[in-house]
């Protein structure tokens, strides 16, 4: 039997901050104020799905052009 589960790329806080061109403290502030991409604590570490990061970036551009 084959595994048909789609692969999900998870990013750490540091990797996400780098993608968003933010410092880690800036990203933590965005999380605190509920303005950051969706994230979850997994094994005690804050993790972001790449798809959620991409969707958040797209939404930021849509809001800027509205």
Element (H, E) at 27: helix 24-32
Sign, CA dihedral 31-19-56-22, equals: positive
Higher pLDDT, 64 or 30: 30
**What are the extents of the domains in the chain?**
10-65
pLDDT at 1: 60
Tokens of 59: 């939404």
| Pairing state between β 10-12 and 40-42 | unpaired
Note the pLDDT tens digit of each residue in 45-57: 999 999 999 999 9
pLDDT at 63: 92
Note the pLDDT tens digit of each residue in 4-43: 667 899 999 999 999 999 999 999 999 999 999 999 999 9
Element (H, E) at 42: strand 40-42
CATH for the stretch 10-65: 1.10.1660
Element (H, E) at 14: helix 13-20
pLDDT at 16: 98
pLDDT at 48: 98
């Amino acid at each position: 039997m084959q595994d048909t589960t789609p692969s999900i790329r998870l990013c750490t806080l540091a990797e996400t901050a780098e993608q968003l061109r933010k410092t880690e403290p800036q990203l933590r502030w965005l999380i605190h104020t509920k303005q950051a991409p969706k994230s979850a604590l997994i094994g005690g570490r804050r993790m972001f799905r790449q798809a959620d990061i991409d969707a958040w970036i797209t939404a930021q551009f849509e809001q800027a052009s509205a």
